[in-house]
Chains A and B, each alone.
Chain A
Amino acid sequence: MDKSGQAYWYAVLKLVAGILGVWALVSYGFGILLAPALNNIMIGGYPFGFWWAQQGSMYVFIALIFIYARLMGNLDRKFDVHEE
């Protein structure tokens, strides 16, 4: 792989790591491990930890995919590897 190709791949890995970091934080973090602590906070009638497990994480997942698609598109163009 040439230099620019390698730089592109590292940029991709960095982006994916960021996306998956948030992904793990909202589900395994807020939704499971931290849920008992967060349940002390009430948001709109929901205990907050419960909300993350049964509502919030799903909204974040959707946002993450579209953010990922968008940022990947930018990366593709920046490194000039986008589809014609």
Chain B
Amino acid sequence: MELQTLTYLVVGATFALYIGIAIWARAGSTKDFYVAGGGVHPVTNGMATAADWMSAASFISMAGLISNMGYGGGLFLMGWTGGYVLMACLLAPYLRKFGKFTVPAFIADRYYSKTAAAVAVICLLVMSITYIIGQMTGVGVTFSRFLGVTNETGIYLGMGIVFCYAVFGGMKGITYTQVAQYCVLISAYTIPAIFISFQLTGIPLPQLGLGGTLAGTDTTLLARLDQVVTDIGFGQYTTSVAGSTLNMFVYTISLMIGTAGLPHVIIRFFTVPTVAAARSSAGWALVFIAILYTTAPAVAAMARYNLISTVHPNVLTGEQLVVQDGGLVYDQRPDWMQRWEVTGLLRWEDKNNDGRIQYYNDRNPAMAERAAAVGWAGNELTVNADIIVLANPEIALLPNWVIALVAAGGVAAALSTAAGLLLAISSAFSHDLLKKIFMPTLSEKGELMAGKIAMAFSIVLAGWLGLNPPGFAAGTVALAFGIAACSIFPALMMGIFNKKMNKEGAIAGMIAGLIVTLFYVFAHKGIFFVKGTEYLGLIGGANSFFGITPEAFGTIGALVNFGTAYVVSKITPACPEHITHMVEDVRTPRGSKAIDGAH
């Protein structure tokens, strides 16, 4: 069957499935809407959390970035999985014992302050919107290629669909929809990886294939890849670090503590039956996540190898790459390149007019010299990192049904996370901000309505900003993690592990952490990510703080948060006694009650 038709069919069928589940499980009361009636099994919850968690950034974007970065890309892998250890040990069981079902509700009670809750809601909204921008970037890339529409139309379509099931479904719809989405996206990710791993190394399991030897030779894949990329002037694949080791270190920390502070993931651990279940739920979530995350580095390395051997056919014959008349003849390029050229995300420019594609690192002076000697006039091929995963099965010439399945997976990943985030936004706005702080008389119906309006507003805003995204999907999402890391995580952690932390300390800490981080991020990416409002001059150039990139800056923000909170708590009135007792109570599992949904 024609690829285009098949794609419509597969994507359409999965949509029908999700929407069907959402309608079938349509939420009734407010409590149902948020926490799916309380009792969700840890394994089910783990799977739903995994789908919720693995967004367009993980599915579409991450392997592409690793593919470009090589070894240094491991920061995404360690950062986005290591956070679960922190969550399981430091937060989830205690928040579950506390028995509230949103993060601001915990902050409000623990810090006996509506102001603290309001600050937390603001942090949460900034973080969630940034995150959704990243999702919209991913949705745009997916639709632009597979449905043959422009990036813009892709984003509009995605906005409409996310709105439908987030608004009509609620959490219950989302929990079961997300189980279905997990199944779709994990098969979409692993099936092509298995095919490709088998093609290249003869080992079907990608996790082992990555360490395998290339079929028909006795060179390992990684050794050959190192050789090929250095031949065309890039850094060695297995050792390259993007930026400095310090930056990789703090970037990883930022992603880890950001993970543990993500409200839409934490909310999942309020929905398990017991404190013990909250502990193991994080483990189950990580099992399901790791299936994708341990496959991703194989996808990354194999895609890099396949891409280079496509444009430099000499890779396969073992001949020199940098030679006169080297590179693929443009007119003989494979179909997939033509298809991606339409989206503008893959571009070729014949700089030396020889009708061949020369792909190499022309920013490496030694390489540029070698290339010039054989008549190459600069790198001619630009490939957007966000297309690597989606193009991967095409590059490896896999059957059309696999390509269609990957499209469905990409859409599932982007939509599931957006829906979970929208839910966190809606509950933060309508319940924690309006009902608890500004309009205590708001009816249940009014609250639901306000929540839906907040969702609609966020979708429109994120979609609009997504038209001019601040970076690749994974990079934008990393920014969101930095924001969670600098604001929410320290407040939660101190709330449990420091009995003496008072409201003044927590509020000052959150505000200081958020402001410092946003100041640095906006300097690079524009004020509220609006293009053209960057103020790099003010901070002395890009990455001026010890070479730390804006995506990694959340760690610094978190340190500022902890430090400010500590100092302020020392010079302001002590935390009241009933609060210290409450914290002591939260630390023991006994007496955990059903979730307090009454309001």
State the A residues within 8 Å of B (CB): 1, 5, 8-9, 12, 16, 19-20, 23, 27-28, 31-33, 35-36, 39, 43-47, 49-51, 53-55, 57-59, 61-62, 64-66, 68-69, 72-73, 76, 81-84
What are the residues of chain B within 8 A of A32 when measuring CB–CB? 245, 248-249, 252
* Contact with B89, one of A20, A43, A44, A82 (Cβ below 8 angstroms): A20
Count of CB-CB pairs between chains A and B under 8 Å: 139
* 27 pairs, A vs B, C-beta closer than 8 Å: A5-B587, A20-B89, A27-B78, A28-B249, A32-B248, A33-B245, A39-B239, A43-B211, A44-B208, A45-B210, A45-B211, A46-B211, A49-B71, A51-B211, A54-B74, A54-B297, A57-B82, A58-B77, A61-B84, A62-B287, A62-B290, A65-B279, A69-B280, A72-B279, A82-B589, A83-B275, A84-B590
Q: How far is the CB of A10 from chain B (nearest CB, A)?
A: 11
Nearest residue, chain B, Cβ from A80? B590
What are the residues of chain B within 8 A of A8 when measuring CB–CB? 587-588
Q: How far is the CB of B480 from chain A (nearest CB, A)?
A: 21
Q: Is B327 an interface residue (CB 8 A)?
A: no
* Contact A58 B89, CB 8 Å, known A32-B249, A46-B222: no
CA A64 – CA B86 in complex, angstroms? 10
Nearest residue, chain A, Cβ from B212? A45
* Contact with B85, one of A44, A64, A72, A82 (Cβ below 8 angstroms): A64
* Contact A69 B222, CB 8 Å, known A39-B238, A61-B84, A62-B287: no
- Contact, CB under 8 Å: B280 / A20: no
- Segment 261-292 of B: residues with Cβ below 8 Å from A: 274-276, 279-280, 282-283, 286-287, 290
* Contact with B77, one of A39, A54, A82 (Cβ below 8 angstroms): A54
Q: Is B364 an interface residue (CB 8 A)?
A: no
* Contact A83 B592, CB 8 Å, known A46-B210, A50-B238, A55-B297: yes
- Contact, CB under 8 Å: A73 / B276: yes
Q: Is B88 an interface residue (CB 8 A)?
A: yes
CA A61 – CA B259 in complex, angstroms? 14
What are the residues of chain A within 8 A of B88 when measuring CB–CB? 65, 68-69
CA A8 – CA B211 in complex, angstroms? 45
* Contact A61 B286, CB 8 Å, known A16-B89, A32-B252, A81-B588: yes
What are the residues of chain B within 8 A of A28 when measuring CB–CB? 249, 252
* Contact A53 B78, CB 8 Å, known A45-B213, A62-B286, A83-B275: yes
Additional A-B contacts beyond A46-B222, A50-B74 (8; CB < 8 A): A16-B90, A39-B239, A44-B211, A45-B223, A53-B71, A53-B78, A68-B279, A72-B279
Q: Is B81 an interface residue (CB 8 A)?
A: yes
Classify the secondary structure of B's interface with A: helix
Q: Is B22 an interface residue (CB 8 A)?
A: no
- Contact, CB under 8 Å: A27 / B82: yes
* Contact A27 B245, CB 8 Å, known A51-B211, A66-B280: no
- Contact, CB under 8 Å: B74 / A31: yes
Q: How far is the CB of A25 from chain B (nearest CB, A)?
A: 12
- Segment 154-210 of B: residues with Cβ below 8 Å from A: 207-208, 210
Interface string of B207-226 (1 = CB under 8 A from A): 11011110000001111000
Q: How far is the CB of B545 from chain A (nearest CB, A)?
A: 19
What are the residues of chain B within 8 A of A1 when measuring CB–CB? 584
What are the residues of chain A within 8 A of B592 when measuring CB–CB? 83
Q: How far is the CB of B92 from chain A (nearest CB, A)?
A: 10
Interface string of B283-327 (1 = CB under 8 A from A): 100110010011001000000000000000000000000000000
CA A73 – CA B275 in complex, angstroms? 10
Q: How far is the CB of B413 from chain A (nearest CB, A)?
A: 19
Q: How far is the CB of A55 from chain B (nearest CB, A)?
A: 6
* Contact with A19, one of B77, B85, B238 (Cβ below 8 angstroms): B85
* Contact A23 B82, CB 8 Å, known A12-B587, A59-B290, A65-B282: yes
CA A35 – CA B119 in complex, angstroms? 40
* Contact A57 B589, CB 8 Å, known A39-B239, A47-B238: no
Nearest residue, chain B, Cβ from A51? B211
CA A65 – CA B259 in complex, angstroms? 15
* Contact A81 B589, CB 8 Å, known A36-B239, A69-B276: yes
